[in-house]
Amino acid sequence: MNVPFDDVWLQLHPEDQVAVLKRTLKKGVRVERGDKIWETQSTIPAGHKVALCSLSKGDPLLKYGQIIGFATQEIHPGDHVHVHNLGMGDFGRDYRIGEAFRPLQRTTREEPLTFMGFDRGPGRRSGTRNYLAIISSVNCSASVSKYIAQHFRGEDFLRDFPYVDGVMALTHKSGCSLMPDKPLEVLQRVLAGMAVHPNISGYLLVGLGCEVNQIPQIIQRYGLRDPQKPDDDPFHMNIQSLGGIRKTVEAGIEAVQKMLPRLNDLRRTPRPISDLALAMNCGGSDGHSGITANPALGVASDCLVQEGGTSVLAETSEIYGAEHLLTQRASSTEVGERLVDMIHWWEDYTAKFGATIDNNPSHGNKEGGLTTIYEKSLGAIAKAGQAPLEAVYQYAEAIQSRGLCFMDTPGNDPVSMTGLVAGGCNLGVFTTGRGSVFGCKPAPCIKVATHTPLYEWMEG
């Protein structure tokens, strides 16, 4: 008996030469639509692709109505289409900067939508959390930062400061033996961005003393100030000046104890939803990502933009091959060209090391049905919805614009989310088809599964 096409397969665009399987089908299953019948030539897993027509070696193959790769051998109707018969190839992309620019219509309400957040004053986004951060300038002070934060855990802390979400250590493995140009600039931008993040109500900077990444330089370069006394420098200390680890930990605990009462006095109040800056990321993507979770996030992103909020797409190496769909929506020539320049930088950078950007997708992506970076990228930009592209930012650069923005980050979950949060995103939504579990304090992160079995398996 033949199986109806729409029961088991999904053709995403009328011009697509492949369909996506809704569930696993064994070899020999006959699928019909109208007067056409296909027969699966092998067992094909859910989320993977099946050929709807014949292709010769070298022919481009379409999914989402876009090129996702080129046939590396003859492909016949009913064949499983994957890494064994589909590969990368160069093709021209028409950037047509701004030609598809269509502003989203802003919603009109007597009263704006709100969320319960923390008012940070004029010119700043509201906080969605109330954290105190211990920020290390160098790896040598990371342990001390962690010791200070660990002191403020347990039932006593929760009882004494019930309105503080926590004392957290923000540490890293750098800060010294690095060139005092771009690497140092990026590190300082991240640390300063975390210090002034809307979810951070107070912070303590901890250094060793002799490191390249000097705390006074960070304070001066980024104008950091004590949140309690805006005219003063923030709390900062270094191990060498205080005489060792134990003394620094004790001094750090004392400094935090002075700050906590003010944080505990803060209360959530209704804040306009336009104060939300949404970090959008996907990790452990699969064949369902571009069909379910990512488009759903794109709809939510558009809704936030229509309310005057900010939504930020990222992972430059994972929009590769689909970047033209964003440049066509750019709000200006400058915005579009900045995105193209970033793509070219990544091409040059990977070439210097004998690699290519198409060294993506990962093993897990491929097991989930993704074959090429073009296919993965087309699914990834679905998170951006239909809003015009308003701005493009460097890694961890402070996000000032409203609307849909893009940030230059690598396609690595922890590194990408760190840049987005350091740029000021106060909320994250992370889609996953394989089960990525990364979160990024101080911003809350909502995980969205691409299919029901994953949700049920990882619900706890």
Per-residue pLDDT reduced to its tens digit, 68-99: 999 999 999 999 999 999 999 988 888 999 99
Smallest CA-to-CA distance from 249 within 146, 153, 355 is with 146
| For residue 413, pLDDT beyond 80 | yes
pLDDT for res 225: 86
pLDDT interval class at 180 (50, 70, 90): confident
Confidence at 361, pLDDT banded by 50, 70, 90: confident
What is the pTM assigned to this prediction? 0.95
Q: Give the model's pLDDT for residue 423.
A: 99
User: How far lies 169's CA from each of 172, 258, 357, 414, 444, in Å?
Assistant: 10, 17, 34, 16, 16
pLDDT of residue 183: 94
| Residue 247: predicted pLDDT | 98
Among 428, 297, 332, 315, which Cα is nearest to 377's? 315
Mean local confidence (pLDDT), 104-130: 94
- Write phi, then psi, for 344 (nearest 5 degrees): -65, -35
pLDDT of residue 108 exceeding 90, the answer is no
* pLDDT above 90 (res 460): no
Q: Which CATH architecture has domain 3-87?
A: Roll (2.30)
Residue 447 C-beta-side C-alpha neighbours within 13 Å: 22
Exposure string for 113-130, b = 16+ CB within 10 A, e = fewer: beeebbbbeeeebbbbbb
| pLDDT range class, residue 358, cuts 50, 70, 90 | confident
pLDDT (0 to 100) of residue 360 = 72
As a whole number, mean pLDDT of residues 144-148 equals 99
Nearest-CA neighbor of 189 among 222, 165, 232, 220?
Answer: 222
Single-letter residue type at 398:
A
Looking at domain 131-264, its CATH class is: alpha beta
- Please tell me what DSSP assigns to residue 181: T
Domain ranges of the chain: 3-87, 131-264, 271-457
Region for residue 23 given its phi and psi (left: phi exceeds 0; alpha: psi -120 to 50; beta: otherwise): beta
Q: Identify the weakest region by mean pLDDT among 59-63, 89-93, 207-211, 255-259.
A: 89-93
Decide if pLDDT at 382 tops 90: yes
> Once rounded to an integer, what is the mean pLDDT over residues 134-145?
99
Predicted confidence band of residue 416 (pLDDT cuts 50, 70, 90) = very high
pLDDT at 403: 98
Q: How confident is the model at residue 355 (pLDDT cuts 50, 70, 90)?
A: confident
Distances (CA, A) of 204 to 58, 121, 157, 243, 426: 58, 21, 18, 18, 20
Question: pLDDT tens, 305-325?
Answer: 999 999 999 999 999 999 999
- Lowest-confidence segment of 153-157, 288-292, 383-387 by average pLDDT: 153-157
Neighbours of 146 (CB within 10 A): 16
What does the alpha-carbon distance between residue 314 and residue 266 come to, in Å, rounded to a whole number? 32
Q: Give the model's confidence band at 400: pLDDT under 50 very low, under 70 low, under 90 confident, else very high.
A: very high
**Would the pLDDT of 233 be above 80?**
no
Q: Are strands 49-51 and 80-81 parallel, antiparallel or unpaired?
A: antiparallel
Confidence of residue 175 (pLDDT cuts 50, 70, 90): very high
pLDDT in tens, 8-29: 999 999 999 999 999 999 999 9
Whether 359 shows a pLDDT value over 90: the answer reads no
Percent of the chain with pLDDT over 90: 90
Largest pairwise CA distance in the chain: 83
Q: What is the mean pLDDT of residues 345-350?
A: 94
Instruction: Return mean pLDDT, the chain.
Output: 95
pLDDT of 256 strictly over 90: yes
If you average pLDDT over residues 342-365, what whole number do you get? 88
Mean pLDDT, rounded, for 160-175:
97
Token output for 164? 């503080």
- Count how many residues are written for the chain: 460
pLDDT of residue 41 exceeding 80? yes
pLDDT band at 1 (very low <50, low <70, confident <90, very high): confident
Give yes or no for residue 45 having a pLDDT over 80. Answer: yes
pLDDT confidence tier of residue 260, bands split at 50, 70 and 90: very high
